[in-house]
Amino acid sequence: MSDAFAKVTLAALVLAFIVIVVGAYVRLSNAGLGCPDWPGCYGQITAPDDFHEIQKASEIFPDRTVDSGKAWKEMVHRYLASTLGLLILISAFLAWKNRDRPGQQVLLPLLLIGLVVFQGMLGMWTVTLLLKPAIVTLHLVTGLLTLSLLLWLVLKHNGLFSDIGSFSPGLRKWARLALAVLAVQIFLGGWTSTNYVALYCPDFPTCQNEWWPETNFSEGFIFIREIGINYEGGILGKEAGTAVHLAHRIGALVSLFVIGGLAIALMVAGQVTLRKFGYLIGSLLLIQISLGISNVLLVLPLPLAVSHNAFAALLLLSLVTLNYAINRSQISSQKRAGHNHE
């Protein structure tokens, strides 16, 4: 095994999580268009800071008010994302170099190169298409997919959970369902955030003091919209925005039952490792739901809103790890069955 490969992939995993959290901070602090161009910022490689740089930036983009604070937030996110791309490129190079070594993964590191290139293009389109919700949401989802695949790569490369034992078929299906439900809920959360409708229901558990206010789901979930419009701040009407917000709340309720049920099932399992998974997933789920409710009642304070994104990523990582352990268990069971048959 390549120690360098293991270190680089682990560093990429940690950095991917940081990039996601910083990206959420940039988006939620309304700095997504802090730099109106890409990959530079107002025509330079750093954010405009001093008087002359700001003056020059105002001349190049006369229709934009230069905000150095927002520009720096956006550029720090780009620097971190670029470093992540470099780490993924290095890990793919090391994987290909060591491809003849037993157990060395090659396909997934190469796949991650394509994914991170696509992610970079989405980052560019996020700016050039003026925060178009479909692009920004896809940017978020792709970032979380990159994070998940990096975790899978680290787990597999280090041979973790090789002796975890067997899972019941019902528990395997439940874990996969929980991961699918969370993926849908993350998309709904991203769609809620990128359309700026997180506070369209300012009360809880009701919405606008009703259990089911007027909604317009067909308008709220139009993904292909006009190019050239600045989507910062959102353009959805009240009924459409309410529909998106309610969809996210319904998704949270489904997640509570499906993921919460899985956590309880794991907690009462006989294996110590499964019980630990149960306590971890259950705790992350309760924190995540509490953060969601708090964001509504406290009018979306930035630290809580960013934490909501961070714990969604942590919950995703916990379910990816559980499903990896299940997959590892199945492979081990098949190998044992093969040996017994021989």
CA gap 339, 342 in Å, rounded: 5
Are 278 and 264 in contact by the 8 Å Cβ rule? The answer is yes
Of the listed 53, 74, 210, 214, which one is catalytic? 74
pLDDT < 50 stretches in the chain = 1
Instruction: Say what the pTM is.
Output: 0.95
Question: How many CA atoms, within 13 angstroms, populate the side-chain half-sphere of residue 284?
Answer: 22
Tracing tokens 């294996």 back to the chain, one arrives at 271
Q: Annotate 113-168 with DSSP letters as a single string.
A: HHHHHHHHHHHHHHHHTTS-HHHHHHHHHHHHHHHHHHHHHHHHHTTTTTT-----
> What pLDDT, on the 0 to 100 scale, is given for residue 241?
98
> What pLDDT, on the 0 to 100 scale, is given for residue 169?
85
**219 given a catalytic annotation:** no
CA gap 109, 144 in Å, rounded: 16
Buried b (16+ CB within 10 A) or exposed e, 299-320: ebeeebbbbbbbbbbbbbbbbb
* Domain boundary assignment for the chain: 1-160, 162-342
> What pLDDT, on the 0 to 100 scale, is given for residue 1?
43
> What pLDDT, on the 0 to 100 scale, is given for residue 332?
65
> What pLDDT, on the 0 to 100 scale, is given for residue 337?
55
> What pLDDT, on the 0 to 100 scale, is given for residue 190?
97
pLDDT digits (tens, 9 = 90+) for 209-222: 999 999 999 999 99
